[in-house]
């Protein structure tokens, strides 16, 4: 059979999210506990962000200090509720929000010893947000799992976490 000039779609199209101007809400939910670094997320911040012309927010979150130490490494439901509240505030103002899994410091010193816990936490976040708009889902895991060994397993980890993210967020694009 000869190739066609227009390929047939094979899956549901992935909605395109164009981000132009964003702001980082750092040092709030990436502290071991919100407020420990002097900042807490306030609803009025989202009004100010929108009024200033921003269209997305990056929200670094330290999930690991809110997860059990033993299998299945359950994330505290109260903490999930708090993140949901913050995501809701952004979405109510038509702001995209990037949830960034951040500051899992144990991964820097002992990546292999924390691998299972990290993946279990990542999976919970992916499952929890699977029905949220694409732009609100966690798209980034951790930049570098081992400072002492800059590329030790990073490619494998990235592929494994990408599979988890896409398994539970099939409408979410790669990247």
Q: Give the tens place of pLDDT for each residue, 99-142.
A: 888 888 888 888 888 889 988 998 898 888 888 776 554 444 44
Query: DSSP string of 30-57?
Result: SSSSTTTTS----HHHHHHHHHTT--EE
- Domain assignment of residue 164, yes or no: yes
Domain count, the chain: 1
The enclosing domain of 130 has a CATH number of 3.20.20.80
Q: What is the mean pLDDT of residues 135-156?
A: 44
SS3 state at 103: coil
Query: DSSP string of 140-169?
Result: B--S-S-SSSTTSSHHHHHHHHHHHHHHH-
SS3 state at 97: strand
- Domain assignment of residue 14, yes or no: no
- Domain assignment of residue 15, yes or no: no
User: What is the span of the domain harbouring residue 148?
Assistant: 22-168
- Domain assignment of residue 12, yes or no: no
| 0.85 exceeded by pTM | no
Within 8 A by CB and 6+ apart from 115, the residues are 157
pLDDT, tens digit, 9 for 90 and up, residues 10-22: 455 545 567 788 9
Q: Are 82 and 72 in contact (CB under 8 A)?
A: no
Considering 1-5, 52-56, 149-153, the range whose residues carry the highest mean pLDDT is: 52-56
């Amino acid at each position: 059979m000869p190739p066609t000039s227009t390929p047939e779609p094979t899956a549901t199209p992935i909605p395109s999210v164009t981000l132009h101007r964003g702001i980082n809400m750092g040092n709030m939910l990436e502290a071991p506990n919100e407020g420990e670094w002097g900042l807490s997320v306030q609803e009025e911040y989202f009004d100010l962000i929108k009024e200033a012309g921003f269209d997305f927010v990056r929200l670094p979150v330290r999930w690991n200090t809110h997860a059990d130490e033993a299998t299945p490494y359950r994330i505290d439901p109260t903490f999930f509720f708090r993140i949901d509240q913050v995501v809701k505030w952004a979405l109510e103002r038509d702001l995209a929000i990037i949830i960034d899994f951040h500051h899992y410091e144990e991964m820097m010193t002992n990546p292999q010893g924390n691998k299972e816990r990290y993946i279990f936490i990542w999976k919970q976040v992916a499952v929890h947000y699977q029905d949220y708009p694409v732009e609100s889902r966690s798209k980034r895991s951790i930049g570098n799992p081992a400072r002492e060994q800059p590329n030790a397993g990073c490619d494998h980890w990235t592929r494994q976490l990408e599979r988890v993210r896409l398994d539970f967020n099939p409408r979410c694009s790669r990247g």
